[in-house]
Structures are given as C-alpha cells and as structure tokens.
Amino acid sequence: MTRRLRFLQLDVFANRLFDGNPLAVVLDAVGLDTDTMQRIARWTNLSETTFLLPPTQPAADYRVRIFTTHQELPFAGHPSVGSAYAAIDHGLVESGKASLVQECAAGLLPVQVVGTGPARIIHVQAPPARIAPGAADLTDKLAAALHAPLDPATIRLVDNGPRWIVCDMREASVVRGLHPDFIALASACEQASALGVCVFGHERDGAAAMAVRAFCPSENIPEDPVTGSANAAIAAYLQATGGLSAYGQRYRASQGREVGRDGCVEVSVDPIGSAITIGGACAIGVRGELLLQDIR
C-alpha cells in the first residue's frame, strides 16, 4: 500500500531559489515512526528534513521534528523558519496569525510572522543558550584545521539545542578566506561533542554587518549554506562576551557565498529579556507528494 504525503522543498533565508539553505518538509507526518523519519531524511540527503505534526501542548500551533541525515535535533534554525513558513502556506495553522508557537524537542518557541504570501518573513526565537567558559584545549587543533591563528579567548562552546564551537575571527575577510581541513575539523567537533564549528567576522561594507560560515563535517556537511542555530549561537556568544555593541541589538548576517549561496539572516537580541531571534525569507521550489510505500 502506498501512502501519499504532501511534500515541500524550499530555500530558507533567501527570497529566491538557489540562494538560501534547502529544506525538505513532510506535511502529513502523523503515523510515521522515528525510524521512517530518519530514513526519509537520509533519502532527501539535505542538511535537515522536518516533519509537521499536530501539537501535543495546548499553547502550541504545530509541532515539528527535525532530522539531519544522521540524527534528530532538538532545535535548528533554518528548519524552524522553513517549517513555520510551510505550515502557514499549507493552512496547517490559523490564517493571518502574526504570532505562533512552535513545539519541538527543545520546547515551545515563539514565532513572529511579518507580511504575507511570498514576501512573508518568519522570525523564530531560539532556545536559551548555555555557554561554556573558553575552549582553550581546542585552540591548537582548531587553528591547524582552519589554517588560521586563533586566540583562545575568542573560542566558546555554545549549546542552544545543537552544540557549536564558536570562533570570532574578527574580520569578514578572514572568514571568507578560510580553506579548512575538514577531517581535522571533524576531529575537533568529536572532541567537543559539537555538531559543528561556526566562525564569524565583522563585515565593513555591504548590507550585512557580519560574515558567517558553519562547518559540520561529522554530519557529512562540510559547509552548511545558511545556519540559523549557528547565527543564534554567535549572538549568544557576543552577548556573553560583551561583543554585541560592535553589531547592535539587531543586525544582519551574510552566509553562504563560499558555497554558491547568498543567504541572509536577521538576528535580534532582546535588550530586556535577552531572547535571541533569527529570521528570514523563504522561497518554495518543489510542491508535490512523497509516495511512501511499506519500507519495513
């Protein structure tokens, strides 16, 4: 017997195709078990695939499960933004609501919706970040892997669902010029039990204030095009280290040019409650059905 599941593929953090981070969304995931979801995620072979479900908590508008090709994540940024966009597009949430609540393994996360139709912008609040004091023991390994000098004071471990090694490279030109050793980076991530390494630097010209790159070689993603959770982790890092003043409470980050993308993440840090929000546009490229046969 074949089950037909509504299916989307869209680019997140871009207002046109081929510039954002691709995401696969299965819209009718009721009844799918974890193993089947993981197998679908391996089949789509994207950095993440999400599955939309009815909420289990009354305060939530919808529920999402997020999978890489290897594992389920409690939270990820571009899957959360893209899933909210898909839920609105397919009428899975009340039409016209400007405020939604996403249920995921990381908890209940506020979602703000600005605009309508293709111009719609989605802003998702990231889970609170836990920041470990320096990661001095990683400095030499990371410096060798990135082929760039590093100050131990500029490295932190930030956990906001996934765990990131965050490195401040100071200048965007340094960030954009990196040619990492991915095998060595994977080893550093394994040592730190981290999903990946994200680096950032100040952009002096152009529409963005920051250049970002994120490397997840242990997930078979040498470089992720545009990464919401990494950008939220960077904002938490700046907030904790007093570096936010260089960028402001609201700033724009550029990510993806080095892999042929040109994504844009809007980052906001609440000056009162310290909540971090990441947002952006989406562009749908594929609408169709996933024809799921009995795969047991």
Question: CA of 163: how far to CAs of 74, 230, 294, in Å?
Answer: 11, 9, 35
What pLDDT was estimated at residue 95?
A: 79
pLDDT at 205: 86
User: What pLDDT score does 206 carry?
Assistant: 84
Known catalytic membership, residue 223? no
Helices 228-241 and 77-89 pack at an angle, to 10 degrees, of: 130
pLDDT of residue 296: 56
Which class is 3-125+281-292 in CATH?
alpha beta
Whether the CB-CB separation of 157 and 135 falls below 8 Å is answered with yes
Strand 21-26 and strand 49-53: pairing?
parallel
Query: Per residue of the chain (296 residues), what is the pLDDT tens digit?
Result: 899 999 999 999 999 999 999 999 999 899 999 999 999 999 999 999 999 999 999 999 999 999 999 999 999 999 999 999 999 999 999 878 999 999 999 999 999 999 988 899 999 999 999 998 767 789 999 999 999 999 999 999 999 999 999 999 999 999 999 999 999 999 999 999 999 999 999 998 888 999 999 999 999 999 999 999 999 999 999 999 999 999 999 999 999 999 999 999 999 999 988 999 999 999 999 999 999 987 55
**pLDDT (0 to 100) of residue 135:** 76
All structural domains of the chain with their residue ranges: 3-125+281-292, 130-274
- Give the number of other Cβ atoms within 10 Å of residue 89's Cβ: 19
Q: Using the Cα atoms of residue 91, residue 108, residue 231 and residue 143 in order, give the sign of their dihedral.
A: negative
Instruction: List, for residues 96-106, the tens digit of each pLDDT value.
Output: 899 999 999 99
Note the pLDDT of residue 137: 87
CA dist list (Å): 259 to 61, 81, 168, 170, 209: 35, 21, 20, 21, 19
> Cα–Cα distance between 109 and 149 in angstroms, integer?
37
Annotated catalytic residue, options 48, 219, 223, 266: 48
Query: 294 is written with which tokens?
Result: 């009995």
Instruction: Report the pLDDT value the prediction gives residue 134, as an integer from 0 to 100.
Output: 64
Tens-place pLDDT, residues 126-171:
999 999 876 778 999 999 999 999 999 999 999 999 999 999 999 9
> Do the domains 130-274 and 3-125+281-292 match in fold?
yes
CATH number given to 130-274: 3.10.310.10
Using alpha carbons, select from 215, 212, 78, 240 the residue that is nearest to residue 146.
215
Please check whether residue 25 is in contact with residue 49, taking contact to mean a CB–CB distance below 8 angstroms: yes
- pLDDT reported for residue 245: 95
